[in-house]
Amino acid sequence: MQAGTWSPSSTDFHRAATRSGPEAGARTFNELLLQISRQRVGSIDRLGIIAHSNANMIGLAGTIITTGPNAPDVLFSPAGLINASVLQSNAAAIANVRDRFADRASIVLFSCHAGATLGLLIAFQTAFDLDCYGFNDEVFTCTDWITPSLRITSRGRMAYTPTLANLIATGLATPCSFAQNTVWGLQPDNAFFNRI
């Protein structure tokens, strides 16, 4: 953390999910579909996916890189990757779970840059036939710790506002300055809608 190479991991995402409602973890796209299939027909109003991502893909599993010139970074595992081609190739499996979603349900991708271009949002919207929301910039995780032991005292609150990265870089804010107690308090700034 002091070196600035820390990045949120499964523990942080789990805490964010449990603060926000029923939590069901998934390391692969098939596990995600299995979690959806376990829900009652018509019972899902909003599906929030909390993960690492970029404008083209979401990674449900991977390795956090803490050394080297690109640190911090995350290397997505192939089995945990969700992009347009994964969604297209799993169209039949997705169709089998669509009935678990309520009328007018939506998907929110709570991850960095998932809404930076419409491509990923369109891929999710097309696959699930649901409105899909994402974030243009970085979504931050608030983690508090005690120095000098660096014992973590609080984790799992997330923060988003456009240009928050700039505020943090200039020392005008921290992720905890804007952190919400639930991910549903974050306001996505991009969307692709199924219907008007």
Residue 130 lies in a domain: yes
Q: Which of 20-34, 122-136, 178-192 has the least mean pLDDT?
A: 20-34
* β-strands 81-83, 101-110 pairing: unpaired
Reference 38, options 128, 82, 127, 100; nearest CA is 100
Residue 99 lies in a domain: yes
What does the mean pLDDT of the chain come to?
Answer: 90
Reference 82, options 118, 29, 42, 41; nearest CA is 29
Q: Determine how many CB atoms are found less than 10 A away from the CB of residue 119.
A: 15
Q: Could you tell me if 98 and 32 are in contact, meaning their C-beta atoms sit under 8 angstroms apart?
A: no
Span 60-71, average pLDDT = 83
| pLDDT score of 48 | 95
Distances (CA, A) of 29 to 15, 126, 183: 20, 16, 21
- List, edge to edge, every strand of the sheet that includes 52-53: 52-53, 57-59, 81-83
Residue 163 lies in a domain: no
Residue 147 lies in a domain: no
Q: Which domain holds residue 133?
A: 10-139
pLDDT band at 114 (very low <50, low <70, confident <90, very high): very high
Whether the per-residue pLDDT at 1 is higher than 90: the answer is: no
Between these two residues, 41 and 153, which has the higher pLDDT value?
41
pLDDT band at 151 (very low <50, low <70, confident <90, very high): confident
| pLDDT score of 67 | 82
Residue 113 lies in a domain: yes
pLDDT digit string, tens, across residues 124-145: 999 999 999 999 999 999 887 7
pLDDT digit string, tens, across residues 28-61: 999 999 999 999 999 999 999 999 999 999 999 9
- What is the sign of the dihedral through the CA atoms of 191, 44, 87 and 138? positive
Residue 26 lies in a domain: yes
pLDDT band at 155 (very low <50, low <70, confident <90, very high): confident
Distances (CA, A) of 65 to 1, 42, 75, 183: 13, 40, 7, 25
- Counting the structural domains of the chain, the total is 1
Residue 162 lies in a domain: no
Residue 5 lies in a domain: no
Whether the per-residue pLDDT at 162 is higher than 70: the answer is: yes
